[in-house]
Structure 1
Amino acid sequence: MTVPIAIIGAGIAGLSAARALHKAGHTVHLFDKSRGSGGRMSSKRSEAGSLDLGAQYFTARDRRFVDEVQQWQALGWVAEWEPRLYNHKDGQLTPSPDEQTRWVGSPRMSAITRGMLGHLTINFACRITDLIRGEKHWHLLDADECSHGPFSHVIVATPAPQATALLAGAPKLASTAAGVKMDPTWAVALAFETPLETKMDGCFVQDSPLDWLARNSSKPGREHKPDTWVLHASSAWSKQNLDLPKEAVIEQLHGAFAELMHFPTPAPIFSLAHRWLYARPSTAHEWGALADADLGLYACGDWCLSGRVEGAWLSGQEAARRLIEHLQ
């Protein structure tokens, strides 16, 4: 009987590692504390339609990731988003054209991780709290004190602060993860009955509580009615207002949005706020992935590289590569 490999976290990094291992003939078993896959690539279903509250789009620069995204496109999981982009600085709105290809999941961001998951084995709504190393194998303990295992190797694919606790059995890896600072982001979605009279589909914002805003309904595959917008607060504002009640967050960010629009915005017919506690690493790293091959313990995530979707995917590939190499 083959002993499977456990992967904790079903975001892009965990699923990237899972697919690479599965392709190489290994059995994998995923665990995720959420009710669905995707992590910060997930979408929120709401009465205003599907909303991308986390990653807004992604780009592909590394050749390996470019090839992967082309496969996703062929499978219908992603589509190119060609937004009319603006910059907002010193109270001025200016067009921000560039040549970058921006990709989004289609018909929603979570289509990518749902596609990647395919028929792989996963336990959703299962928060792993401890990794226990036996003589030869690992066992995983969840928040309900249920034990899962045995597993030959474990890949931790969660944000660095959560990974730190799980990597306690490998102090070197744990201390590396503990040194990674991750910034929070408050996200707010607003829906308007009639489309706002602006050409803008996306905007990079400076000198404001906001950092970014996007017309969610301008993305391919999204519902066009109502007119939905997603606002991301800056890291600095999010840190200062980390424990602000959601109603107050909506009120303040809606206020900043209305101010930026330079025309009276109607009251939204729908609003919601979501706090991403670990939205992105504060700085980029070049580890690729972390590994203690003797213990059979690995870690990956966007925090091991660039903080981008591409970084998460490449980190998962690297963790799988190192694990496979060790087994040969």
Structure 2
Amino acid sequence: MTAPIAIIGTGIAGLAAAQALQQAGLSVQLFDKSRGPGGRMSSKRSEAGSLDMGAQYFTARDRRFVNQVQQWVTAGCVEQWTPQLYNSNAGVLSPSPDEQVRWVGTPRMSAIARQMLGELPVEYSCRITEVFRGTQHWHLQDAEGRGHGPFSQVVIALPAPQATALLATVPKLAAAAAGVQMDPTWAVALAFDAPLQTAMQGCFIQDSPLDWVARDRSKPGRDTNRDTWVLHASASWSRQHIDLSREAVIERLHGAFAELLDCVMPPPSFSLAHRWLYARPVGGREWSSLADADLGLYVCGDWCLSGRVEGAWLSGNDAARKLLAHLE
């Protein structure tokens, strides 16, 4: 019996690769350091309802991804989001002319990852720290010192800095991943008992500690009776304040939000801060995925392409395609 394929990471890229390989009749085993799937597509359950702290929405341009989105719509885990969008430049608010179609998971972003995962075998709260090859097979070691394997092939679907650490046995791939810089993002959720007096449901922001805010409950299917907002700090502000306490981050971004709306803003009845160390790649690439097919090691992620949700899905599928082509 052929050894299964290990997939490290259950974000959209890892799940896309796992789905494609399973559909081709291969056995896979997924690993993730978190307690659930989705990566930056995961959602945070809280007393204020479910909150999308990472990816806020996604678009679909590539025909293959458009087809996948339609399948998600049919499955009931994706709907179109049509927010009232604004731009803020130098403190001046204006309606956004951007009319592209935006999609969100329902009733939360993580619903997409749950749907993709299905019945695939996965081990959560398992941080893989080493990937090494024996005489014939790959083996993994986790942070608790436990071994996993043997595996016939390995797919690493992690942010570039985390992938680099697992590519010691393949210097060429390690060098490529090491050359990718990824920016951090501080995310803050605020909930208010009374709705804020604004028509805004999303805003792209310049010249501020913030670069995006969204009225989270304006998305379809959200389960809250409070006015919930998610604020994303800019990459430059997040880098400069990467080690700031969560309480201080909430205070400063709450202040920037009040300045954006130019109103007296009540204290929130709920607040939460989350730090994404590797939120988005700096610059785009056209790698699709990285591979050493002879060794049986593949690397995928949004950073291999556009940095978008679509890029993650395409990258995972490309890694699976390369793997399957080598097995033919």
TM norm structure 2: 0.99
Shift of 1:97: 3.1
Shift of 1:80: 0.5
Distance (Å, rounded) in 2 between the aligned partners of 1:41 and 1:318: 20
- Report which stretch shifted further, 221-230 or 268-277: 221-230
Distance (Å, rounded) in 2 between the aligned partners of 1:91 and 1:44: 30
Distance (Å, rounded) in 1 between the aligned partners of 2:196 and 2:165: 46
Partner residue in 2 for 1:191:
191
Shift of 1:223: 2.4
Q: Is the CA contact 1:190–1:272 (under 8 Å) kept in the aligned structure 2?
A: yes
Distance (Å, rounded) in 1 between the aligned partners of 2:317 and 2:48: 36
Partner residue in 2 for 1:47:
47
Counterpart of 2:252 in structure 1: which amino acid? Q
Task: Write the mapping of 1:203-242 to structure 2, written as runs, cut at 5 A.
Answer: 203-242=203-242
Q: How many residues align?
A: 328
> Structure 2 stretches of 5 or more lacking a match?
none
Q: Is the CA contact 1:218–1:224 (under 8 Å) kept in the aligned structure 2?
A: no
Distance (Å, rounded) in 1 between the aligned partners of 2:77 and 2:268: 30
Partner residue in 1 for 2:112:
112
SS of residue in 1 equivalent to 2:274: strand
SS of residue in 1 equivalent to 2:303: helix
Matched, 1:319 2:322: no
Distance (Å, rounded) in 2 between the aligned partners of 1:98 and 1:238: 26
Distance (Å, rounded) in 2 between the aligned partners of 1:132 and 1:174: 14
Distance (Å, rounded) in 2 between the aligned partners of 1:170 and 1:178: 12
Distance (Å, rounded) in 1 between the aligned partners of 2:197 and 2:303: 38
Q: Superposition RMSD on alpha carbons, in Å? A: 0.6
Matched, 1:248 2:248: yes
Shift of 1:98: 2.5
Partner residue in 1 for 2:296:
296
Partner residue in 1 for 2:144:
144
Task: Write the mapping of 1:67-78 to structure 2, written as runs, cut at 5 A.
Answer: 67-78=67-78
Q: What are the Cα deviations for residues 130-159 of structure 1, in whole angstroms up to 9, with x where unaligned?
A: 012011100110000110111000000000
Distance (Å, rounded) in 1 between the aligned partners of 2:236 and 2:219: 28
Counterpart of 2:7 in structure 1: which amino acid? I
Q: What are the Cα deviations for residues 205-244 of structure 1, in whole angstroms up to 9, with x where unaligned?
A: 0010000000001000002411100000000000000000
Partner residue in 1 for 2:161:
161
Partner residue in 1 for 2:287:
287
Partner residue in 2 for 1:29:
29
Partner residue in 2 for 1:129:
129
Distance (Å, rounded) in 1 between the aligned partners of 2:94 and 2:272: 28
Matched, 1:62 2:66: no
SS of residue in 2 equivalent to 1:212: strand
Shift of 1:263: 1.3
Counterpart of 2:68 in structure 1: which amino acid? E
Q: Is the CA contact 2:108–2:222 (under 8 Å) kept in the aligned structure 1?
A: yes
Counterpart of 1:270 in structure 2: which amino acid? F
Shift of 1:262: 1.3
Distance (Å, rounded) in 2 between the aligned partners of 1:152 and 1:25: 14
Counterpart of 1:66 in structure 2: which amino acid? V
Distance (Å, rounded) in 2 between the aligned partners of 1:236 and 1:301: 23
Q: What are the Cα deviations for residues 54-90 of structure 1, in whole angstroms up to 9, with x where unaligned?
A: 0000000000000000000000010100000000112
Q: Is the CA contact 1:58–1:103 (under 8 Å) kept in the aligned structure 2?
A: yes
Distance (Å, rounded) in 2 between the aligned partners of 1:91 and 1:5: 51
> Structure 1 stretches of 5 or more lacking a match?
none
Q: What are the Cα deviations for residues 172-219 of structure 1, in whole angstroms up to 9, with x where unaligned?
A: 000000000000000000000001111000000001000000000100
Matched, 1:271 2:271: yes
Shift of 1:51: 0.2
Distance (Å, rounded) in 1 between the aligned partners of 2:73 and 2:97: 24
Distance (Å, rounded) in 2 between the aligned partners of 1:39 and 1:134: 30
Matched, 1:4 2:4: yes
Distance (Å, rounded) in 2 between the aligned partners of 1:274 and 1:263: 25
Partner residue in 2 for 1:102:
102
